Structure 1
Amino acid sequence: MQLIPAGVDVVGRDGRAWLNDNPQAIVRAFNSSGVELPIDIEHATEHKAPKGEPAPAVAWVKQLETRDGGSIWGLVAWNREGDALVTSKQYRYLSPVFYFEKDTRRISRLTSVGLTNKPNLELKALNQRQTQEESPMDEALLAALGLAPGATVEQAINAINQLKANEQKAVNQQQTPDLNKFVPRSDYDKAINRAQSAELEIKKQQEKALNAEIETLIDKALKDGVITPASVEYHKSCCRQEKGLELFKQFIQQAPKVVKEVDNFDKPPQGSSDQLSAEDKAACQFLGLTEEEFKSNK
């Protein structure tokens, strides 16, 4: 409903005048208050309520907005009594109550609205009969519904019902999703856990097989005398590196024999202490020493 007419100068039938050069400020004041404006009968809120007399509202202004020319309109929700008063045409007009600055007479905010049959301001009357041509449907609403300008009310209702049906369909799909595309989270988590467990088990088995193969090759290399016990851990570490096992296989196939009898490594030296064991001789080769030099430093 129109609450303040268009125009910067608001002039009443009784000759009083006010300034409405900042209608947005009036809307902001309403929004910041967080309180809906009461619509009563003949300004009972302003005249009777301060005296403790009943001043019931027959409707409430729930929202305000500005329109062309700075006019201010309110979204009105009527109660049963107010609806009866308006539809029976007992009251035809609205009369706003507002605060204004004394020096500039600038309207600052609305406080209430009264049903009256003697309005002071030039506002649109209640119960004005309008045809479809006189009050066409809002083009923005039609555009939002995907309808062309000039669409009928029936077409708009059909479009709204289709939106509701689509919304319900989307809700149903969300509640019962396509199992070809989605799985329950609990099932997904179980599958992931099983996959991770299987991956760990495979990794353990691969590690076990690798260690077994390395041990076999190391043992054979020791028996063949191509490596010494002192270098076992070094060769094991190399075998565990990327491509290390293949490189070790190539090495033991081409490496010269550095120890004659590996079994002698674990046996105490025989005969004179001046005689070198097989392990001592292997050490001589690695260190680049003659047997005499080794003996003198032994």
Structure 2
Amino acid sequence: MTQTPHIQLQGLALNAGEASPEWVQLTPAGPDITGRDGRSWRLSDPAAVAARFAARRQPIVVDIDHLSELAKPGEPAPAQGWIETVEVRDGALWGQVSWNKSGRALMEAEAYRFLSPTFLFDPKSREIMSLRSAALVHRPNLEMQALNSETEETVQMDKAICEALGLAADATAADAVVAITRLKDAKAVALNAADHPDPGKFVPKADHELALNRIREFEADETARNETAVGAAVDAAVAAGKIAPASKEYHLATCKAVGIEKFQQMVGTLPVIAGGTRTETPATPGKASALTADEIAVCAQLGHSHTDFAAAKATEETR
């Protein structure tokens, strides 16, 4: 059921016997209420309206000239007081007002004498459903012709705006406000989700940096350990006389490239060609053994000439 906001046409007198009245009349007695322009509404169940107000548990504003209803977003619409309680008296609705400092000053100065409420009503049955706000006014209804137009009950929204919000072409401003509020709520949920991402997919930046630093430290330590092991393997090969000390840098690079295990396997196939702890016996010229394909490959890996390798091999074979 669509409920249409409407500003009450019939102002109700204030300042009847007290400067800042605690209770004010919000509507005439029902069930039939007729405005100055001839239009009418129904208040057949004022107790239900009072019950809806109580169920909301939220006061409604008392402003000046309905500013809270008419002001554009961002424009000031200061409250002069708040209606905290609504009750039924002889078929009419009355509200208990908590005036603020500026509201009390206006009442004491008798700056305004009339109260004009805003209510929601069913456009078909004209039944008043709930109260929305109230305003201090000088001439109720006369200053509100745009809202109390006899030819237009509600302000129709721009068609493009309705389409953008997914509303029907005959949607009202109230419908648009509801749709926009939902969009804002959805945005708030999305922002909240962005502030608290899924811990299964994301980690805090500080934790990520700490993990990276630990990985870098581990890699640096591993590199140092590997270089130490490579140096030890090459030094062992030099001490064994398998490679010449002058070619140590070359063999360090080779060991790093092929790995320590493979380097040691290659060195194991080499004869003693320099240094070492055994006495070298020169090979007899012309008796050098031919190199196998594997030995030729080892020469290529370690930078030895075929002649030197064959001579060293022949020396080994004569021992």
TM over 0.5: no
Q: Which has the higher contact order (CA 8 A, sep 6+)?
A: 2
Question: Which TM-score band (shorter chain)?
Answer: 0.3 to 0.5
Determine which structure has the larger helix proportion and give its number.
Answer: 1
